[in-house]
Amino acid sequence: ANAPSKDGAGPGFGGLLEDITNRAELMLFGRQASDTFGALFREGGSVAGRCRRLGARVAGELAQRRLELDSSAGPLWLPALEQNLAASAGEARQSGASLAICELLRAEVCSEAETKQLCKQIVALLMPGKTESSELLAAVCDGLRRVSERRNLVWKVLGEADLAFSREQLLDRLYGFSKLVTDGLGDTKEAELGATSRDLIHASWRLLGQLAAWEAEDSSMDCVEKLIAIGLKSTGEEALGALGLALSAGSSDPTAAAGEATPAATVRTSKLIHRLLELAGAHEEEGRNIPTSDAAKAEMAAKERAQRCGIVWLTILLRRMLRSGSQASLPAEYVDPICRSFVRAAAGLSIFVADCSLKGMCLIFALTPPDGRTELMKTMFASISNRTVVSNMFVGTPDTATRKEMQDGKDAGGPNSLKITAKERVDLLKDLMFLSREMSHPPLFIGLLDQPVGSIWTGEILREALDLQMPSIPDELHPQLCPKVLRPKLYPFFFHSNGPLRQAVVALTASYFSVESPQQLATKFSEEWPQIARNLVAALGSGRVATREAAVHAAQALFRGKVWSDINFIFEDLWSIAIRLMDDMEERVQAVVKPFMRMMRNLTLRLCDTKLSNTTDVEAAIKTLIPLLLTTCERYTHAQPLCFDIIREMIKLAHNTNLLSAYVQDLIPPLLVSLSMMENTALQYWQFHIEAADASKGRELEAARVSNSRDSESMKLIRQLVPLVTEENAAALAPRTRDSLARGVGANTRVGACDLWIAICAERPSAVPTGGQVATSMLRCCAGALLDQNREVRNAAASCFASLARRNTPQELTRVVSERLLQKDAEFRTDDAQRNAFRVSLARALWEVCRRCDDGALEPELKASIAAKAFGLRWSSDQEVKTGWEPLWSELCPTTSGGVERHHKAICKELASAFEENISRAEKMTSAKAVSALAALLDKQQPRPNWATDAAVGELQNAVRQAVQNLPVFEGSGLLVRALADIGATMHRRKRNEPAPGGTSSTSLEESLGFPLIKGFSAKGSLTDRAAAIRALQEVTTATRLWQPLEEPASLYAAAAARVDELQKEVENEKREPGEAVPKRHRGKGSSPAEELLSACLDFWGLTFEQCRLEEDDDGDLSHPEDDELKAFMKACLDEFSSGSLTFRLDIVRLWKHLFAHFAEEKLFTQGDASVGKALGEDMCKTLVTAIQDASLDARSERLRRPALELAGALSKREKQREVLETALAAAAAAPPSAQVTLMTLEKWIDKVDDATAEICSEQLSALRALKP
């Protein structure tokens, strides 16, 4: 005010201040000369009343200012004010004058006498009957309250005798103003009372509270209790605000300096806080039962009103303490109870009380000493956590009828908006609490809570008491609530799904850092961008679902469009957490993560695009991204489609560049995997069902799937990478593609691996050096793939094998095929099914090898090994194996005899090893068939080699003999015995009068051929195996001419007949229904094992007869048979003929035909008077002719009739054998007609022959007619 003007001339600012003061006085007091009233005395409603109160305060400040400038100057306006106070024309002049006089008294600008006189005049206005103007009384109460805030004038003037107004009268007068509220209304709303009445009641309460501050402690607490009693009846918002101000004033010490906490004030405050905590129910249990009786309901309503009053008044008291600077007057023991009360009230249904409690939580933090704020936050957070309703999946909810009724009642009443609001408020508190915990800075909770919010409680009294819209924390505490270090951490919460929390964060950053959006935060504090990014990545992995959701939104805004130099330090962490978010179980996160992953995909591709980034950054990015993508593919199945998509796009972006040359070995394997993984999963389902319905259609679908994968994007990218393959890349790529080929999940992957190496061998032959490690290892791997169950894989593997075979030496190819294919079936020695399945695949694989590989690549040894394997397996009992190896044998050997001639040594070796190594009986039976077939083909070679001296054949014969010798009797063992006989017969076959091929004696030859083994098996095992043994014995005996005496085959037949009789007796002894015929299972059943055995025995016996000669020129010749030996043989034949089937009879007739022809040729039974008829005797001749007649007339088959007539014709033509027919026919002719004989006369016999047979056998019939019985 004393400063000069700026230009140094004229009056200074002191003159300006005087001008302003004069202008203010004019506005306040007006011009009395012109009857113009100022703002102090102007009529009007509530607005004019507020102007009067503000004007009075201005007048008081001006008077005090003038006194400070000139201590001798008195109040200039006092006469005018006294004049207006005494006026009766209008209430406004008196109200304004009383307010202004009180402000002058407050400012202490009047003398002591003037002060007392003026105060008496003002107090006198409150006397009953003085005035009933509510406006004037309200102004008097406000003025006296303002005076009492600094000076104890009211009680002093009331104590003087000249004022007929006592202390008690004043108090009663003031309490009387509240009757209108306490008697019925319960609130001080303007709509019910009017503005002036409301202001009067509020002013009277505040005056009472302020006057109580000047009284003794007991009297003061009495006044406080009366005010509390009034408040419990007047629970409206404005009433509570006014009473709260009154209670706060009553607990203060007016004599204390500003910010000073006197003992008296501390005691009063403590008592008031204790009383208010009782009202708030701080010491009551939180759990309360639902009231049922009227009394209980009334009691609960009273408690709720008391809690409402206690919370609101506590908030007002704390605010007054904070604004007055008397923090020290808050006792420490009340901090925790107040905090818990506020938190509990915040979860209540009253929005006003909840807002007050939230404001109170901020105030209690500001009033708490710094060293106690940590414990305060713990208490506050614990109380908030107790407000949380825990929903546990393992804790059930009782399903009682009462609970159902309550729930039905709630549903019928519709949604409760107050409960919904309370729940949302508690959720907000929890979110704010978790946010501050995540920030590791609990005071941030208070900072977020103490932000400007909209409120409907904006009345003048409420603004003065609470001011719920505005922050209450002093500015000096802002760095403690939200230090700068937390600023980068706030970025994600700009996107929080909780609207109030998000608004709180925006308000906080606007107030503390002058930023209102995340973009401004990242731009204004650009140096903190790395910290923002790191904190955002940490938020993406938060345990809070809402935080993760907000961080996902924030990441899309923060990282979009960045280059590698901006995010290289954080990209790996960002990528890792993004991949984990893709598999987040929360639906809220799943809903927002899809656009986030699209952003991540686009960002990743942007970093690898040379059009959008410089080459250096792209190379650095690719160096990091490729391993990262590959690692992600291996660890996270759910992220594989995304990674494959990015890899494909990266390859497209790097086309015609060398950016990916160093990563070919890393990129190709996942692309191969994607061939199967990216296929529609429904195709595999369809494949299964189509194959089950139609195998050919299943193969067609399988081929279509593979064809589609070859045209896929992944395969196209693989082809683009092939030109980048180098020798170093190929060496690194080979082991990984071997894994894909051997253990690839899908057929598409395995086919793709084969196609890859076909392309590499064709386009980049320098990458696969001939005979190198890569070529060798891949050849071995492809050899295994040739055995794949999938046909398309086998075909692709065959082409790949052929391509790689050209990159290997023939010796290596032979070694690979031998080790990986030919010898691999040894792994399935004990499982016939697995072995057969393997052999089917092996046949296809070897066929592809032989068909696709050049002849120069296949060594003769390899061809021989494959042919040897094929020859043996062509005789497999498994039809699929057999048909699989037939084409392979035909591929190698156009003719069977030529193949055996060329590869017989390898075949013998393979078959010998099959007998020695395999333990499967089925395998030995298959090998036995192959040995018999080989022996037959070896016999046909011309000129015939001496097989007895061939080492390979000898080893095979020894292997077969060892197998027969070591194996027990089992079904099918006859095949092995036959094989032993066949190979032995081939080795030692000779014609009559030729020397033995081996030059050995008969005894040693029998031992080497296994004669005792063969004979032994003729009496062991099943009938079929016994028959096979007999046939084998016959074969080897015929070939080697080691014939035994006739007693030997006779004994074999006797044993066989006895065994058949034994089995037939078992059949006859079986239980059956009465009258049921005995089934023919052995004799009489065509081609039965029994008849096969008996037929073999008779054949061998008859063949032995054919070795009998008159002159024994060869070691194998037998001497002339005896009559008894012939009779025994014929008796056995006739016995079997009588019970034999058609087939067996035919065999016997043919046997007789050959036997009698041999007798005639060798002139046996022709010396002297000897003949066949005499040797047989009359009875046997008749039986024999009867059998011939029966056979010749058999109506079942011409195949039997014709041989029988041919036999009869041959006998009739031979002189020494004709006697058989003549003797029998003569006996038939001599028999009386009445005799029942089966033997027919010649005429009758010939007559019964059917015409067709007679025409065919006319020559034989002519010979018969020439007979003379």
Whether residue 287 is predicted with pLDDT greater than 60 in this model: the reply is: no
Mean pLDDT, to the nearest integer, of 1219-1247?
80
| Mean local confidence (pLDDT), 140-161 | 82
Q: Which residues contact 627 (CB under 8 A, 6 or more apart)?
A: 666
Dihedral, 1243, 1246, 1251, 1253 alpha carbons, nearest 10 = -170
Residue with more model confidence, 391 or 122: 122
Closest CA to 243 of 462, 53, 539, 475: 462
State percent of the chain over pLDDT 70: 90
- Dump pLDDT digits (tens) for 623-650: 899 889 888 887 888 888 888 888 888 8
* Averaged confidence pLDDT in the chain: 83
Assigned token pair, 476: 């000096």
CA 1130 to CA 1185: how far, in whole Å? 12
Question: Which run of H or E residues covers position 588?
Answer: helix 587-607
The answer to whether the CB of 908 falls within 8 A of the CB of 867 is no
How far apart, in Å, are the Cα atoms of 775 and each of 55, 757, 758, 806?
104, 10, 12, 9
pLDDT over 60 at 411, yes or no: no
Q: Which residues contact 181 (CB under 8 A, 6 or more apart)?
A: 187, 188, 193, 201, 230, 233, 234, 239
57-66, 1019-1028, 1256-1265: segment of lowest average pLDDT: 57-66
User: Are the C-beta atoms of residues 104 and 78 closer than 8 Å to each other?
Assistant: yes
Nearest to 560 by CA among 593, 594, 607, 628: 607
Q: Residues 471-492: pLDDT tens digits?
A: 888 888 899 999 999 999 999 9
Q: Which residues contact 1007 (CB under 8 A, 6 or more apart)?
A: none
| pLDDT tens, residue by residue, 1041-1078 | 888 888 999 999 999 999 988 888 888 888 888 877 77
Whether the CB-CB separation of 564 and 617 falls below 8 Å is answered with: yes
Instruction: Give the range with max mean pLDDT: 4-8, 86-90, 649-653.
Output: 649-653
Range of 265-274, 500-509, 651-660 with top mean pLDDT: 500-509
Q: How many CA atoms lie within 13 A of 88 on its CB side?
A: 2
Closest CA to 925 of 965, 872, 983, 981: 872
343-353: average pLDDT? 88
Question: pTM for this one?
Answer: 0.63
Instruction: Give the pLDDT band of residue 815 (cuts 50, 70, 90).
Output: confident
Please spell the DSSP secondary structure of 212-270, one letter per residue.
HTTS-HHHHHHHHHHHHHHHHH--SHHHHHHHHHHHHHHTS-TTSPTT---HHHHHHHH
Taking 70 as the threshold, does the pLDDT of residue 185 lie above it?
no
Where residue 1010 falls (left for φ over 0; alpha for ψ -120 to 50; beta otherwise) is left
Mean pLDDT of all residues in 215-244: 82
What are the two backbone dihedrals, phi and then psi, of residue 37, each rounded to the nearest 5 degrees?
-90, 145
Can you tell me the mean pLDDT for 1240-1259? 88
Binned at pLDDT 50, 70 and 90, residue 863 comes out as confident
Q: Report the alpha-carbon distance of residue 1114 to residue 995 in Å, rounded.
A: 9
Cis? peptide before 860, omega within 30° of 0: no
pLDDT tens digits, 936-946: 888 888 888 88
Q: How confident is the model at residue 1131 (pLDDT cuts 50, 70, 90)?
A: very high
* pLDDT for res 14: 56
Which tokens go with 593? 């993560």
Which alpha helices (DSSP H) does 368-485 contain, by range?
373-386, 401-413, 417-438, 444-449, 460-465, 478-481
Residue 550, pLDDT above cutoff 90? yes
Radius of gyration of the chain (CA): 62
Whether the CA torsion 1236, 1241, 1244, 1249 is positive or negative: it is positive
Residue-wise pLDDT tens digits, 772-782? 898 899 988 88
Q: Would you list the DSSP string of 165-207?
A: --HHHHHHHHHHTTHHIIIII-S--HHHH-HHHHHHHHHHHHH
Q: What is the mean pLDDT of residues 1190-1212?
A: 89
**Contact between residue 918 and residue 829 where contact means Cβ atoms under 8 Å apart:** yes
pLDDT mean over 968-972 = 82
The pLDDT value given to residue 362: 92
Query: Does 73 have pLDDT greater than 60?
Result: no
Range of weakest confidence among 148-162, 331-345, 1241-1255: 148-162
- Residue 671: helix, strand or coil by DSSP? helix
- Average pLDDT (569-591) is 91
